[in-house]
């Protein structure tokens, strides 16, 4: 027996499984399984990536000053309190490393993002799952689950894979009711899709126990570049910067994110097309007898009558070259998560689901 063993909790981690991107034997697939921007990367970001190739022998900056300044200007924030990470996943992981360990509890909601659990287990902390109310965050249930051991509370708002969200007054009530030693992490991966919602930025500034995370992977169309950021109390940001790798973001990633932020036409078009096509898709599916909750993000959680029906529909969609996401591991076995694609993709997935409902197998 080897005496070389990993830290406690690590072997309990269920490996993260990403959205499928191909189907054996089927060509011309459309991928609607990873909530990616259907319009491809912004041309400005592509150009920045090409330009960055000339300087690849140079180390990137360690302080991300230019990108932080650009984010601060775009969102009206204090640049000193921004930290950039390799996707927002890295910020979530750093928070676990810095604030939780064996004996500590990390709360996430029933249908919350898989990374919260993985992050907690990776540092030996105990993940605590809190029930939602009909696929919506239940603030009272979270507050009731808090103990002296609670260190972190993860909440995606809007949530993935449900697409639902709670209002800022409810988020504020949650932050105000947490025990003194607990930090609220507001995951705003889909915040930009919600008109007039700041992701919780003002709440971060008003309190000392809230951190917000954001990403360039969704609305900004840079999932492959891996850039995210956090906004928090100065002392929390200082803590995270101590454990962050000094060169965590490549010069290419920094340049791409900065350019994407500046391409406001791309961002606006992505947002408005998502709003329009999300409504169209939800209605088309409802007409085929497939309901969904009102989504605030760039995907729809389509509900079927049973797990069998959801799986059969997924199998049929794959045979037609349409890849969506099964969400059984998120305790939603009757549902399929469908990213809002471009218009042709939305029409194709709705058409296929209509055929399936009409008896095609
Ligand atoms: C996609 C997503 C993220 C973003 O992850 P990145 O590491 O920034 O690509 C974070 N949280 C949730 C809930 C997501 O769905």
CATH architecture of the domain 43-263 equals 3-Layer(aba) Sandwich (3.40)
Q: What pLDDT was estimated at residue 23? A: 87
Ligand 1 atom with the smallest distance to the CA of 112 is 13
As averages over each run of 10 residues, the pLDDT of the chain (361 residues) reads 88 88 87 97 98 98 98 97 98 98 98 96 97 98 98 98 98 98 98 96 98 98 98 98 97 98 97 98 98 98 98 97 96 98 98 94 76
Determine the Cα angle at 163 with ends 162 and 166, to 5°.
100
**CATH code of the region 10-40+265-360:** 3.90.1150.10
Contact 226, 11 (CB under 8 A): no
Measuring CA to CA, which residue among 48, 47, 16, 15 is closest to residue 34?
A: 16
Q: How far is CA 266 from CA 8, 259, 263, 273, in A?
A: 45, 11, 6, 10
Phi-psi region of 7 (alpha: psi -120 to 50; beta: other; left: phi over 0): beta
What lies within 8 Å, CB to CB, of 174 at 6+ separation is 139, 142, 143, 153, 155, 184
Contact 144, 133 (CB under 8 A): no
Q: Which of 215, 260, 299, 337 to mutate to test the pocket of ligand 1 (most atoms within 8 A of CB)?
A: 215
What lies within 8 Å, CB to CB, of 29 at 6+ separation is 21, 22, 23, 321, 322, 323
Ligand 1 and 290: CB distance under 6 A: no
Q: Which two tokens stand for residue 181?
A: 């030693």
Ligand 1 atom with the smallest distance to the CA of 86 is 7
H-state helical runs in the chain: 43-52, 65-75, 87-99, 114-122, 139-145, 168-177, 201-206, 234-243, 251-262, 264-287, 307-319, 343-357
Q: Which two tokens stand for residue 324?
A: 């969506």
Q: What pLDDT was estimated at residue 197? A: 96
Q: Whose CA is nearest to atom 11 of ligand 1?
A: 189
Ligand 1 and 215: CB distance under 6 A: yes
Return the CA Rg of the chain.
21
Ligand 1 and 221: CB distance under 6 A: no
Ligand 1 and 187: CB distance under 6 A: yes
Ligand 1 atom with the smallest distance to the CA of 223 is 9
Q: Whose CA is nearest to atom 15 of ligand 1?
A: 160
Ligand 1 and 193: CB distance under 6 A: no
CA–CA separation, 106 and 92 (whole Å): 12
Q: What pLDDT was estimated at residue 21? A: 86
Ligand 1 and 192: CB distance under 6 A: no
Q: Which of 33, 36, 112, 187 to mutate to test the pocket of ligand 1 (most atoms within 8 A of CB)?
A: 187
User: Same fold for the domain at 10-40+265-360 and the one at 43-263?
Assistant: no
Ligand 1 and 88: CB distance under 6 A: yes
Would you list the domain boundaries of the chain?
10-40+265-360, 43-263
- Check residue 104 and report its DSSP letter: -
Is the whole model's pTM more than 0.85, yes or no?
Answer: yes
Number of neighbouring beta carbons within 10 Å of residue 29: 17
- Cα of 88 from ligand 1 centre, angstroms: 6
Ligand 1 and 189: CB distance under 6 A: yes
What lies within 8 Å, CB to CB, of 304 at 6+ separation is 290, 310, 313, 334, 335, 336
Ligand 1 atom with the smallest distance to the CA of 226 is 9
Q: Which two tokens stand for residue 61?
A: 């900056």
Q: Which two tokens stand for residue 15?
A: 């490996």
- Cα of 160 from ligand 1 centre, angstroms: 9
The string of DSSP codes covering 222-269 is: -TTT--EEEE--HHHHHHHHHHS-TT-S-HHHHHHHHHHHH-HHHHHH
SS3 51: helix
């Amino acid at each position: 027996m080897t005496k070389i063993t990993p830290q406690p909790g690590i072997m309990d981690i269920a490996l993260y499984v990403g959205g499928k991107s191909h189907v054996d034997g089927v060509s011309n697939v459309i991928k609607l399984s990873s909530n990616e921007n259907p319009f491809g990367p912004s041309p400005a970001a592509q150009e920045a990536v090409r330009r960055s190739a000339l300087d690849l022998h140079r180390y990137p900056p360690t302080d991300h000053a230019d990108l932080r300044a650009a984010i601060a200007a775009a969102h009206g924030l204090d640049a000193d309190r921004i930290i950039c990470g390799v996707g927002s996943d890295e910020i979530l992981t750093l928070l676990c490393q810095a604030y939780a360990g064996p004996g500590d509890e990390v709360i996430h909601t029933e249908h919350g993002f898989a990374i919260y659990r993985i992050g907690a287990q990776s540092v030996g902390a105990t993940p605590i799952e809190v029930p939602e109310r009909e696929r919506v965050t239940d603030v009272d249930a979270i507050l009731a689950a808090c103990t002296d051991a609670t260190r972190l509370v993860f909440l995606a708002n809007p949530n993935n894979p449900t697409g639902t969200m709670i209002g800022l007054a409810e988020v504020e009530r949650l932050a105000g009711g947490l025990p003194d030693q607990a930090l609220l992490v507001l995951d705003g991966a889909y915040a930009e899709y919600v008109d007039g919602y700041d992701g919780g930025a003002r709440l971060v500034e008003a309190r000392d126990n809230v951190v917000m995370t954001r990403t360039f992977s969704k609305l900004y169309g840079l999932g492959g570049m891996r850039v995210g950021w956090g906004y928090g109390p100065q002392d929390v940001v200082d803590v995270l910067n101590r454990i962050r790798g000094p060169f965590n973001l490549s010069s290419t990633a920094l340049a791409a994110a900065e350019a994407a932020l500046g391409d406001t036409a791309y961002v606006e078009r992505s947002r408005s097309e998502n709003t329009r096509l999300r409504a169209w898709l939800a209605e088309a599916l409802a007409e085929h007898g497939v309901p969904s909750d009102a989504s605030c993000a760039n995907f729809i959680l389509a509900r079927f009558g049973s797990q069998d029906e959801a799986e059969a529909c997924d199998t049929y969609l794959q045979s037609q070259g349409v890849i969506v996401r099964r969400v059984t591991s998120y305790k939603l076995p009757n549902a399929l998560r469908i990213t809002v694609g471009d218009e042709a993709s939305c029409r194709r997935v709705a058409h296929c689901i209509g055929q399936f409902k009409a008896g095609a197998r």
